[in-house]
Chains A and B, each alone.
Chain A
Amino acid sequence: MNAPTCPSFKAGDFKSGITPIWCPGCGDYHVLLSITKALAALGRPPEDVAVVSGIGCSSRIPAYTNCYGFHGVHGRSLALAAGLKVARPDLTVMVMSGDGDGFSIGGNHFLHACRRNIDMTYIVMDNRVYGMTKGQPSPTTEPDWDSALSPGGTGLSPFHPLVIALASGANFVAREFSGDIKACTNTILEAIRHPGFSFVEILSPCVTFRPDEKEWKQTVHKAIVEPTDDPARAARRIMTDDGMNTGILYRGNRKPYAAHVSDEVGDIKALEEAFAL
C-alpha cells in the first residue's frame, strides 16, 4: 500500500489577509508565524484545522489564520474546543489564549482540560499583563508590579502555569519564547502530534505595557535536560524553575479522552420502545 501523498504547504497558506490589531513589536506576531509554520509542517490542509480562542490580544489569532476559527467569549476557549473536538475528532484543534483569558477567568477550565486530556493543543501567550484593557496585572504578573488598578502591586504570588498543567494531568507540557521562532515552531508541531492535551506556554512580550519584557530575549535560556515521561521528575524540575527555562518539560503517555460523535446513527426506535407499556 502506498503512503498517502502529503501536499506540501507553506506558512503563508495558513495566513489570512486580515491585518492584526497588535502593537508594533508585539510578541504575538512571532507566535502567529510559528503557528503557521508548524501547521505547514504538519501537512494537513487549512480547512482541516480549527483555531479556537477567547478574548484578549492573543485571542485575535483565529481570524489571522486561514483555518476555521472561533473567537468566543472571555475565558471559555477550552470548553468551545472540547465540544468541537468531541463532535469532530477528524479535525486538528488548536486553542489560543493569554495569561488573563487562560489563567484568570478561564482558570477552572484549564484544570479540567488537563484532566480530561482531549487531543488538542493549548497555546497560552503569556505577557504577564492584560494588554487589551491597557495594563492591569494578570495571574502571572510579579507581586510588586505597579498599575492604576493595583497601585503598588498586587502583593500576590504569581500563578505557575506549568506546575498547574503538570499537576492537573496535561499530557505534554512545554515553555517557549516567542522570539525563538525555530524552537516555537518545533515545539508547537510536537505538541500537535502528541496525543491528548498538550500545553505550551509561550513567553510573548507586551512591549507597550511591559517594556521591561523586551529584556526577555536575554533572560530566557534553554533547559539543558531532555523531556521526561516521569511526572515526578518533571515536577522536581519545574519546582526549581526560574520561569525563564524553555523547551519541552514533559511528554506523558496517558490515554486521550475517547468519547466522540460518529457519523453512524444508531436505532432511535430502540430508545422509544423502552417507554412502551
Chain B
Amino acid sequence: MAETEANSVSLAILGSGGAGALTAGGILLEAAGKAGLYGMLTRSVGPQIRGGEAAALVRLARDPVECAAERYDLMIGIDWKNADRLAAEIPLSPEGLIIADPESGPVPEEITASGAPVVEFPLKETAKAIAGGRENMVAAGLAAALTGMDIEAVRQVIRTKLARKGDDAVNSGLACLDAGIKGAEKMPRSYRLKATQQADQERWLITGNEAVGLGAVRGGIRFAAAYPITPATEVLEWLAPALARVGGALVQAEDELSSINMAIGASFGGRASMTATSGPGLALMMEALGLSAASETPVVVVDVMRGGPSTGIPTKSEQSDLNIAVYGFHGDAPHVVVGPLGVADCLFTAQWAVHLAEAMQVPAIVLSDQAIGQARAVIDRPADLSFFANRRVWQGGADQEYARYALTADGISPMALPGTPGGQYTADGLTHSVTGTPSSRMSDQKAQMDKRRDKVEQFDYGTHWAEIEGDGDTVILTWGSTTGAAREAAKRLRARGIDVKLVALRLISPFPAEQLLQAVGDASRILVVEQTHSGQFARHVRAHCELPGKVHPFHREGPRLIGPAEIVTEITDWIKS
C-alpha cells in the first residue's frame, strides 16, 4: 500500500440525502478532535430533504483548519445519485482514491475525470451481512483506516452517539466500522498526517451557527424572534433551548417582518434582542431596521448569507448580501455591519455585535454565511470576552426632565426603560425633536441625523475592526468567511519566500478607512478577495478610501468556495507579470 504524507488530509463521503454521509463525517470529525487533531466538516447538499445529493467533506490537520479543502484525497461513494451535481465542488487529487460500491452503478464521469483510481468495495453487501448494519458506518471504517485516524477514538464516538438507540445499534455500528477497517487493508493507497509537535489545548467542536448563538448569549441577548430560513435556522434552533436555560425567550414569528419587529419591541423593553435570517429575510427586514436606527432601539440581526439573488442557492454560500446590509436602508441610517472571519470568530464577532448595538443603540448586522455557519470545526476553546450588552439607561427620578433623544457629546442618549417613572416617551420612526415629539422641522432633522451619525462614527472600535497578520509589500485584503482561505494562502506564500500581509476586515460599516490606510501603508499590490459575482467588497472599499499602489479585485460567485491555491496563483502570477 502506498502511503502519502501531508499537512492535511481530506476526504469526501457521498450519498443521497438520508444515506448517512453527513452522520459518518460528523463521527470522524469528532473522533479526530478527541484524538487531538483539528478539522472541519463542511457539507455540500442539494435542495431536497430526502433523496437529493449530499456530501460530507472532512479536512483534518494537526493545526487549526480554517477553510475547506481544495483537493480531496479520498472519496467514498455510498451511492452516486446526482453526484455529478457536486463533482465541481469536490475536486479530487490525481493521487487520490475513489471507493465505489459496485451495487451503485458506474462512477460519474465528472468524478473519474480527476484521474484518481477507482477501487470497488461492496459497502451495501458488507452492511447487509451485519444485523442492523448501515453502509455509512462501513464507509466511516474505510475512511478512518485510510487516513490513519485513532480508531479507538472513532469507536468511542460511535458508542456515545448511538447509545440512545440501544446496545444493538452500538454493536452493529462497531461491527460495520471494523468491516470497513478490514476492507481498507486491500486498498492501494492511504494517507497520513505529518507528525508535528501537538499543543495540548482544550478543544471545542462547534458550528459557525452555534458559535454565533453562543456569542450572542454571552453578549447578553435574552430575546430572539425566529422565522426559519436556510442556512440560518440552526442559529435559531440552538437559541431556543439555550435562551430558555438562561432566563430568556425565543418566539417563532409568522414571517420576517414580524420577527424583526418583535426583536425591536423586546429591545424597547430593555432586553438585548436579536433575530437570525438569510438574504430573502434580510430584504424583508430592511424597513424595520430603519425604524431601529431612527428610534435608536438596538437590535442584532445575524444574516447567514447564501447564494443570491432571490431564492438563489439556499444551501450554498456567497458573501453577496454586503450591499443590502450596508446600503439597503432607505434614508440615511447609520448602523453597524460586521462579518465573522471564520467558524471560531463567529463567537467573537456575534458577542462584539451585541456590545456595539447596545452601546450605540443601533441596529447591528452580522454577516456570516453558509460556508462558516454550517461548517463544524474543531477549535481551541475560545477565550472569555469582556463584551457585554451595556446600554446607557436613564436612571433619573420623576423630578428630572427627561429628553429621550437629548444631544450629547458622543451622540448616545440615555434610554428610559418602560416602568421607570418620569421617563415616558414615544419611540418614533418619524423625525422627532429631542423629546421624541414628531417634527418636520429642518433643525430637528439635521440635529438628529448628525447625532446618529456621530455616535457611530466617533465610537471606539479598538483593534477589533480587522485581523492583521504578517508584513510585506503585497497585501491580501478580505473580509468575513474568505479570511480562512486568504490566511492559508498567505502562509503558503510566505513559505515560498513571498512576504505577504493579510488584512481581514471584521468591521464593514462604518468603514474603517483611516485604520485600513494605516494598515496597508505603502503596499504596492493589494489583492481584494471576496465571494461575490460583482466585487461588492472591492467597490465598498473604493467608495471609502483611495488605496495605494495597484489594486486587483479577485472575486467569484458561489457555490465553489474561493480556496487558498487560487489566491496563491493570483499573487504569484501578478508578481511575475
* Residues of chain A whose beta carbon lies under 8 Å from any beta carbon of chain B: 18, 45-48, 50-52, 62-63, 66-73, 75-76, 78-84, 86-88, 90-91, 108-109, 111-112, 116, 259-268, 270-272, 275-277
Q: Are A268 and B269 in contact (CB under 8 A)?
A: no
A47, A84, A112, A275: the one within 8 Å of B422 (CB): A47
Contact residues in A for B246 (Cβ distance below 8 Å): 265-268, 271
Task: Tell me the nearest residue of chain B to A18, going by C-beta.
Answer: B437
Contact residues in B for A277 (Cβ distance below 8 Å): 30, 33-34, 202-205, 378
Stretch at the interface among B48-56, B88-96, B256-264: B256-264
A111 to B217, CA, bound (A): 31
Q: Are B245 and A267 in contact (CB under 8 A)?
A: yes
A266 to B244, CA, bound (A): 9
Q: Are B265 and A47 in contact (CB under 8 A)?
A: no
9 tightest CB-CB pairs across the interface, nearest first? Answer: A83-B265, A69-B426, A83-B262, A79-B261, A87-B266, A80-B265, A88-B269, A83-B266, A84-B265
A266 to B242, CA, bound (A): 10
Extra inter-chain contacts (17) besides given A87-B222, A275-B206, CB under 8 Å: A63-B438, A69-B425, A72-B429, A73-B261, A73-B290, A79-B225, A79-B259, A79-B260, A79-B262, A84-B269, A86-B262, A91-B419, A109-B257, A259-B250, A261-B222, A264-B247, A270-B245
B210, B288, B416, B428: the one within 8 Å of A63 (CB): B428
Contact A68 B245, CB 8 Å, known A47-B418, A73-B288, A259-B251 = no
Q: Are A261 and B266 in contact (CB under 8 A)?
A: yes
Number of inter-chain CB pairs below 8 Å:
190
Q: Are B437 and A63 in contact (CB under 8 A)?
A: yes
Q: Is B218 an interface residue (CB 8 A)?
A: yes
A270 to B253, CA, bound (A): 28
A265 to B222, CA, bound (A): 9
Q: Is B185 an interface residue (CB 8 A)?
A: no
Map CB proximity to A onto B131-151 as digits: 1 under 8 Å, 0 otherwise. Answer: 000000000000000000000
Min CB–CB distance B391 → chain A (angstroms): 13
Q: Are A66 and B245 in contact (CB under 8 A)?
A: no
A88 to B395, CA, bound (A): 18
Contact A265 B258, CB 8 Å, known A70-B295, A276-B381 = no
24 sampled A-B residue pairs with Cβ under 8 A: A48-B418, A50-B269, A68-B416, A68-B423, A71-B426, A71-B438, A72-B291, A72-B295, A73-B429, A75-B257, A76-B257, A79-B258, A79-B265, A83-B225, A86-B266, A87-B266, A88-B271, A265-B222, A267-B245, A268-B246, A272-B214, A275-B205, A276-B202, A277-B34
Instruction: Select the residue from A88, A259, A276 with max chain B CB neighbours within 10 A.
Output: A88
Q: Are B424 and A83 in contact (CB under 8 A)?
A: no
Q: Are A87 and B269 in contact (CB under 8 A)?
A: yes
Q: Are A271 and B418 in contact (CB under 8 A)?
A: no
Contact A82 B424, CB 8 Å, known A73-B287, A87-B223 = no
Contact residues in B for A79 (Cβ distance below 8 Å): 225, 253, 257-262, 265
Map CB proximity to A onto B474-486 as digits: 1 under 8 Å, 0 otherwise. Answer: 0000000000000
Instruction: Please tell me the size bucket of the interface on B.
Output: 35 or more
Q: Are B251 and A82 in contact (CB under 8 A)?
A: yes
Contact residues in B for A259 (Cβ distance below 8 Å): 244, 249-251
A259 to B247, CA, bound (A): 10
Q: Are A88 and B419 in contact (CB under 8 A)?
A: yes
Q: Is B248 an interface residue (CB 8 A)?
A: yes
Contact A261 B223, CB 8 Å, known A68-B425, A87-B265 = yes
Q: Which of B92-111 contact A (CB under 8 A)?
A: none
Q: Is B467 an interface residue (CB 8 A)?
A: no
A71 to B478, CA, bound (A): 40
A76, A88, A260: the one within 8 Å of B288 (CB): A76
Q: Are B262 and A80 in contact (CB under 8 A)?
A: yes
Q: Is B470 an interface residue (CB 8 A)?
A: no
Contact residues in A for B357 (Cβ distance below 8 Å): none
Q: Is B254 an interface residue (CB 8 A)?
A: yes
Q: Are B210 and A275 in contact (CB under 8 A)?
A: yes
Q: Is B420 an interface residue (CB 8 A)?
A: yes
Q: Is B312 an interface residue (CB 8 A)?
A: no
A161 to B536, CA, bound (A): 46
Q: Are B262 and A82 in contact (CB under 8 A)?
A: yes
Contact residues in A for B290 (Cβ distance below 8 Å): 73
Q: Is B16 an interface residue (CB 8 A)?
A: no
A234 to B288, CA, bound (A): 36
A261 to B389, CA, bound (A): 16
Q: Is B522 an interface residue (CB 8 A)?
A: no
Q: Are A82 and B204 in contact (CB under 8 A)?
A: no
Q: Are B242 and A271 in contact (CB under 8 A)?
A: yes
Q: Which of B233-247 contact A (CB under 8 A)?
A: 242, 244-247
Contact residues in A for B266 (Cβ distance below 8 Å): 83-84, 86-88, 261
A277 to B31, CA, bound (A): 9
A72 to B265, CA, bound (A): 9
A189 to B170, CA, bound (A): 62
Q: Is B273 an interface residue (CB 8 A)?
A: yes
Instruction: Select the residue from A47, A48, A267 with max chain B CB neighbours within 10 A.
Output: A47
A75 to B203, CA, bound (A): 47
A166 to B420, CA, bound (A): 36
Min CB–CB distance B380 → chain A (angstroms): 11
Task: Tell me the nearest residue of chain A to B240, going by C-beta.
Answer: A259
Q: Are B247 and A73 in contact (CB under 8 A)?
A: no
A47 to B402, CA, bound (A): 13
Contact residues in B for A78 (Cβ distance below 8 Å): 258
Q: Are B271 and A87 in contact (CB under 8 A)?
A: yes
Q: Is B427 an interface residue (CB 8 A)?
A: yes
Q: Are A266 and B265 in contact (CB under 8 A)?
A: no
Q: Are B270 and A88 in contact (CB under 8 A)?
A: yes
Contact residues in B for A48 (Cβ distance below 8 Å): 418-419
Min CB–CB distance A115 → chain B (angstroms): 9
